[in-house]
Amino acid sequence: MKFEWFVASRYLLSQRKQSFISIISVISIVGVSLGVATVILVIAVLDGVEHGLRDRFLANEAHVAVSKIDRGFFNNYEDRIEAIKKVDGVVAASPVVYTQSAIFQKGSQSIQDVIYIKGIDPEVEDTVTGFSKFVEGSVDFQDQKIIDRASFINDESVTGGIVLGARLAKNLTLHQGDILRLVVKLEEDNHSPGAFLPRIRNFVVIGFYESELAVYDSRMAFIHVDTAQKIYQQEGNINVILVRLEDPELAPTIGDELIEVSSFNTIDMPITTTWLDTHAPLFAALELEKIATVIIEALIILVAAFNIASTLIMTVMEKTRDVGTLRTLGASRGNIMLIFMIQGCVIGMLGTLLGTALGLGVCKLLSTNVIRPSPLIAYALVVLLIIFQICVTLKFILSKTKLRNIVMLLFWILGIAFILYCLVQPISLKELGLSEIYQMNQLPIKINWFFVGFINLLSFSICWLATIYPAFQASNMRPIEALQYE
């Protein structure tokens, strides 16, 4: 093995007189690096998006919602909640009146939007969805000070407080203390048959709900569950029970049990909706996107591997006479095969490792919590690099080592990476104006180490496979033909 390494490394490192990694090996290495780096980066972003969404969903939503199949109301819900709480794996459960309402502002003559209204008990709700964590302002729906003040200023009766999704409030330019009108019910007009009159209730904006999930922030408002029961004339009843589980992944299995315990009689027919059901299309789309990405990126690495193969085929052709000479000196076919496989594998390995480093480095740069060293460090580093280069050029250091150029190359790559690290601002989706689309403000990065390992293995295997044909070709040459090759 020593002899093969000796020859292979010489072929890799020197192109006749020039004692640098031969340019063709560098190109192959860069090809593999870029493939590996992009796949790591892209998957980190996709994983980041998935996990970001997932975390936000889980923070904002109950894991399971129990409702009636006809969306009707449950009576004696307290008993049902108690029954649900006794199920293994259930952490908490809360009663909710979930409806839709048309809304309009004071002074407006027409409906401005139709939104979801969630009637909740804030204290119980906190145990299930962490509601108040996301609210800016008050969560006391019966905050008399605000209600009285709004009622006095506007000279109108006010039913209670309402917490509005932050984006919704922004779109409607509503501030704390403003009045919002909800169409809570349509009633038949006794005076003209077939016509309906809206029953309208006034609410005063007491707070804003900001979860960074556009679905909620722009389409949701919260009122107290008691108020909701009153305005929808469902006193003592609720239509949704929200449940929090110890392990959200168990939602589908525990859901079935919840149906059983919450069904008090045959006409109840409760159903469950898990957070996974709610977002199934989104997660499926993300998963598909990931698979497609991996395939495309694997193709990039494959192209890079073809690059290695053609590099090796060229090397084999160029070294045909050398192969003949080595064979006359008693090198076996196995020896020859190894020489060329080592070359390809070293290229593949270097490319893979550099690509991994590059990919992880850029991930690090893009991730939000980068501690930014002062740019001064970057400038100092530039100076240091130049001094280092001068010392090497003038042969003060490293002059005697054969690996001088590799050390130099590594030093520069690491140096530049660190300089970038010092200088580059973490990319902000908000700044790019993409936060609406991705429903989050920062480009999320999540590195899946298992996947990084997998892609390393894949890349190296592809490169290794690429070496087999050229190496076999070299080893298969008859010594006499190789010697006479022109």
Out of 170, 185, 219, 333, point to the residue binding other proteins (CB under 8 A).
333
Nearest Cα neighbor of 298 from 286, 290, 310, 288 is: 290
CA 138 to chain centre: 32
Q: Which stretch binds other proteins (CB under 8 A): 278-286, 296-304, 392-400, 472-480?
A: 472-480
Least Å distance between CB 20 and other proteins? 13
Residue 29, H or E segment: helix 23-60
Residue 403 touching other proteins (CB under 8 A): no
Q: Does 317 bind other proteins (CB under 8 A)?
A: no
With CB under 8 A as the contact rule, the residue among 1, 2, 88, 433 that binds other proteins is 2
Shortest Å distance, C-beta 420 to other proteins: 36
Pick from 231, 234, 207, 104: which is nearest to 147 by CA? 207
Is 246 within 8 Å of 136 (Cβ atoms)? no
**Closest CB to other proteins among 372 and 478?**
478
Tell whether residue 400 is a contact of other proteins (CB under 8 A): no
Instruction: Mark out the alpha helices in 248-374 (DSSP H runs).
Output: 251-262, 275-278, 280-318, 320-328, 333-366
332 binds other proteins (CB under 8 A): yes
Q: Assess 391 for contact with other proteins (CB under 8 A).
A: no
Residue 17 is a binding residue for other proteins (CB under 8 A): yes
Strands 160-165 and 196-209 turn out to be parallel
Please tell me the distance from the alpha carbon of residue 135 to that of residue 205, in angstroms, as a whole number.
12
Interaction between residue 478 and other proteins (CB under 8 A) = yes
Residue 346 makes contact with other proteins by CB under 8 A: no
Closest distance between other proteins and the C-beta of residue 338, in Å?
Answer: 11
Q: Using the rule CB under 8 A, give the single segment among 11-19, 294-302, 344-352, 426-434 that binds other proteins.
A: 11-19
Closest approach of other proteins to the CB of residue 480, in Å: 5
CB 411 within 8 A of CB 385: yes
Q: Which is nearer to other proteins, 217 or 322 (CB)?
A: 322
Q: Which stretch binds other proteins (CB under 8 A): 105-113, 126-134, 177-185, 326-334?
A: 326-334
Give per-residue burial for 173-192: e unless 16+ CB within 10 Å, then b.
Answer: ebebebbbbbbbbeeeeeee
**Of the candidates 231, 311, 327, 466, which one interacts with other proteins according to CB under 8 A?**
327
Binding segment toward other proteins, per CB under 8 A, in 7-15, 23-31, 50-58, 255-263: 7-15
**Among candidates 62, 58, 61, 66, which has minimal Cα distance to 272?**
66
Classify strands 160-165 and 135-137 as parallel, antiparallel or unpaired: unpaired
State both tokens at 159. 């039913």
Q: Residues interacting with other proteins, by CB under 8 A?
A: 2-3, 6-7, 10-11, 14, 16-17, 321-322, 324-333, 335, 478-480, 483
